[in-house]
Amino acid sequence: MTREVQAVILVLVGSAIIRITIDDTFLNYVKEGMRPWLLLTGGALIAMGVLAIVDVFRGERGEKNDDQPEHEPEHEDDHAHHGPRSAWLLLLPVLAIFLIAPPALGSYAAARDLTNSSPSAAVAPPLPPGDPVEVYVSDYVNRAVWDFGKTLAGRTVAITGFVVPNPEGGWWLTRMSLACCAADAFAGKIQVVDPPEGWEEPPADTWTVVTGEWVPGGGTNSDTAIPLLAAENIVQIEQPVNPYD
Amino acid sequence: MSQVVDAPHKNKRWRIGSLEILIIGLIALVVGQQWIVTFFTNPALQTASTIFVSIVVQAMPFLVGGVLLSGAVTAFIPASVWQRVLPKNKALAVPVSGCAGMLLPGCECASVPVAGSLVSKGVPASSALTFLLAAPAINPIVLVSTFVAFPGEPALVLARFIASLATAIIVGWIWLRFGQDSWMRMASRLHLVGDTKFETFRRTAAHDFLHAGGFLVFGAAIAAFINVIIPAEWMQSVADNPVLAIGFMALLAIVLSICSEADAFVASSFTQFSLTSKLVFMVVGPMVDIKLVAMQTGIFGRRFAMRFAPTTLVVAIAMSLIVGGVLLT
C-alpha cells in the first residue's frame, strides 16, 4: 500500500465517521453521548490524511533532489512508505457505511436474545403524572417483572417499539437497549394482548406506539418473563431518530 | 522484509498499482451498489453488518485518541528518559517498568515498536518486555474504555488492571531468570522519524492507526459474524460451562486480535459469558494474539516469539483466574 492510498484511507474513514454523525445514523450503532467524540475523531483522521497527502508531494520533490529515502536501509524505507496490507480492511466499514448503511437492530437480533431483563432489586418510583404516560419498553418490563406491576396498575401507558412475532402466537412490542454499542444490545419484549377490533398484526419490524394497560399474567421475578399489555390503541409510526431505549 | 534487494524498483511499480486498485475498486462498488444492497437484505447478514459497524464506530475514538497520544509520547519523550528512571537492579526494574506501562496510552500495536526501540536503546530486555505486555493492558485509555464498556462493573476494571500487571511482571521475571538475549534478532526501527518532532508525531500516529485499524476491523467482522452465525442456544451452553467458557474466550482473544482499546466493547457483547471468562479475554488479548505474535516475530525474531507467546498465555490465563476468583465472585 502506497502512502497516497494510506492518506486516502485516512480521509475516507474520517469522512465516513463525520457523515454518520451529522445525519444521526450513528444512533443506529452507538449511544448519543458519542457524538462529540466521533466528530473529533473524524476531524483528526481527515487532518492526518490531508497532512499525509502534503507529505507525499513534499517527498516526491525530495526524491528529485536525491534527498530523503536513499540513506536508510531499504526494508525500513519499505516499511515507512508502504503501510501494512491489513490497512486495506479499513475500507470495509467505510463501504458498509456508504453503500449498505446497516439499519438499527431489528426483529432478527431481538429474537436471538433469550432473556428479557436482568434482575433488579430496586423499588420502582411511581410513574410521572399524565394519562397516557409514555414509558420505555425496558422500564415497563422492569416494573412489571421485578416490581410486580405495582406502579403500573390502574395506569394507561403509551409505549414505542417494533413488532417481533412471538413464535408461540401473537407478537411482542420490542425495543433494543444498548449498554455501549449495538454489539451488546439486549431486547426488551412485551406481549401485546387484546388488540382493538379489526386490528391485524403488522409485519415484523413495523414501528408502533401501543397505548394500553398492564394486566398480570406475564410472570414475575424471572429474567425470561415477558409481561403483558392490553392494547386499547395501536398506531404505526416511522422509526424514531434514536431507535434504542 | 526479505525482498530487500529490488525494493526501490518494486516500489515504483506497486505505487501505481495500489492507487489504481483503490480507485477501480471504489468505482466498481459504487456501480454495483444495488446488487450489494440486495445481498444485504438477508436479516442475519444485516444484523451482522450493523454489529460490525457499531463495534468499529464505538472503538474509533479510542483508537484515534490512543494513536495520537502514542505518537506524542514517541515524538516528545526521548527514550533516554526511561533509562534514567529505571532502577539499576534488573529484578526491581521489572515491576517499575510494568507500572511505567500506564504512561504509554497506546494499544499493543504501538507498544511492540516502542519496546523494540527501548531494547535497542539499552534498556534491559526483561524491563522492555514487561513494559510491552503491561502498556497496552493497563494504560488509562484502556481502563476508561473498559469502564465504559461495562457500566456498573467497576470491579472488572480493577481485576483487569491487577491481572494484567501481575502477568507482565511475572513474565518479565521469568525472562530475567531463563531468557537469553540471543533469542532476539532485532532490526532497527527508525523509519518514522521525521525532520521535526511534529512530523514524527504525525507519522507515528498515522502509522499506528493504519496498523491497528486494519486488525480492529478484522476482529470486529469476526466478532459480528460469530455473534450472528452461532446459534444463541449453543453460545449459551458454552457460556454455561465455566471451563469451556474460559477456553473459548481465551481462544477468541487470540484469534480476534482486537486492539486493546476496543476489546472491552467486544468482550461485553458476549452477554451470556461469565465475568471471569471476559476477564480472560481482556487479559490475554492485549498480550497474546495472532497479530501481536506476528508483530513480535517481525521485531524480535521467530525464536523469541515461539518461546515468549506461549509463556505469556499460560501466565495470563492463570492470573485472570486467580484475580477473577477473588474479585469477581
Asked if the bond preceding B154 is cis, omega within 30° of 0, the reply is: no
Residue A241 lies in a domain: no
pLDDT range class, residue B3, cuts 50, 70, 90? very low
Is A62 found in the same domain as A149? Answer: no
Q: What is the pLDDT of residue A74?
A: 38
- Residue for cell digits 491487577? B162
Q: State the CATH number of the domain containing residue A155.
A: 2.40.50
Residue A243 lies in a domain: no
Give every CB contact of residue B163 below 8 A, 6+ residues apart in sequence: B279, B283, B316, B319, B320, B322, B323, B324
Crossing angle for the helix pair B275-284 and B302-327, nearest 10 degrees? Answer: 150
Scan residues 118-177 of A and list those with Cβ closer than 8 Å to B: none
User: CA nearest B328: which of B141, B94, B150, B156?
Assistant: B156
What is the per-residue pLDDT across A34-93, written as a single tens digit (0 to 9) for each? 999 999 999 999 999 999 998 888 876 655 444 344 333 434 334 445 567 778 889 999
Residue A137 lies in a domain: yes
Is A117 found in the same domain as A87? Answer: no
Give every CB contact of residue A76 below 8 A, 6+ residues apart in sequence: B187, B188, B189, B190, B191
State the residue range of the domain holding A220.
Answer: 109-236
Is A76 found in the same domain as A33? Answer: yes
Is A219 found in the same domain as A141? Answer: yes
User: CA nearest A43: which of A75, A78, A17?
Assistant: A17
Is A123 found in the same domain as A58? Answer: no
Q: Which residues of chain B neighbour A96 with C-beta distances below 8 Å?
A: 49, 52-53
Domain termination site, one of A69, A84, A102: A102
Domain termination site, one of A57, A77, A102: A102
Candidates B4, B50, B68; nearest CB to A29 = B50
Residue A192 lies in a domain: yes
Is A191 found in the same domain as A159? Answer: yes
Residue A244 lies in a domain: no
Give every CB contact of residue B268 below 8 A, 6+ residues apart in sequence: A179, A180, A183, A184, B149, B150, B278
Residue A54 lies in a domain: yes
**B254 sits in which H/E element:** helix B242-256
Q: What is the pLDDT of residue B68?
A: 84
User: CA nearest A49: which of A3, A96, A97?
Assistant: A3
Q: How far apart, in whole angstroms, are the C-alpha atoms of residue A99 and residue A1? A: 23
Question: Is the pLDDT score of B50 beyond 70?
Answer: yes
Four-CA torsion B226, B230, B234, B237, nearest 10 degrees: 0
Query: How large is the average pLDDT for residues B302-329?
Result: 92
Question: Is the pLDDT score of B114 beyond 70?
Answer: yes
Query: How large is the average pLDDT for residues B303-314?
Result: 92
Is A67 found in the same domain as A32? Answer: yes
Residue B125 and residue B175 in contact, taking contact as beta carbons nearer than 8 Å: yes
Is A75 found in the same domain as A94? Answer: yes
Q: Is A76 on the interface with B (CB under 8 A)?
A: yes
Domain termination site, one of A102, A130, A149: A102
What is the per-residue pLDDT across B135-183, written as a single tens digit (0 to 9) for each? 888 988 889 889 888 877 889 999 999 999 999 999 999 999 988 877 8
Candidates B7, B11, B64; nearest CB to A45 = B64
Query: How large is the average pLDDT for residues B36-65?
Result: 86
Provide the number of structural domains found in chain A.
2
Is A127 found in the same domain as A192? Answer: yes
> How far is the CA of A129 from the CAs of A132, A144, A150, in angstroms?
9, 18, 15
Candidates B8, B43, B214; nearest CB to A88 = B214
Higher-confidence residue: A149 or B11? A149
In terms of C-beta density within 10 A (0-12 exposed, 13-18 middle, 19 or more buried), how is residue B253 classed?
Answer: buried
What is the per-residue pLDDT across A80-109, written as a single tens digit (0 to 9) for each? 455 677 788 899 999 999 888 899 999 999
3-state secondary structure of B234: helix
Is A178 found in the same domain as A71? Answer: no
> How far is the CA of A136 from the CAs of A106, A127, B329, in angstroms?
16, 11, 32
Is A143 found in the same domain as A44? Answer: no
What is the per-residue pLDDT across B198-241, written as a single tens digit (0 to 9) for each? 888 888 888 878 877 887 787 788 778 877 887 777 877 888 88
Residue A154 lies in a domain: yes
Query: How large is the average pLDDT for residues B261-273?
Result: 77
Is A92 found in the same domain as A180? Answer: no
Higher-confidence residue: A214 or A222? A214
pLDDT range class, residue B6, cuts 50, 70, 90? very low
What's chain A's average pLDDT?
85
Query: CB count, 10 Å around CB of A123?
Result: 9
Q: What is the pLDDT of residue A229?
A: 95
Residue A245 lies in a domain: no
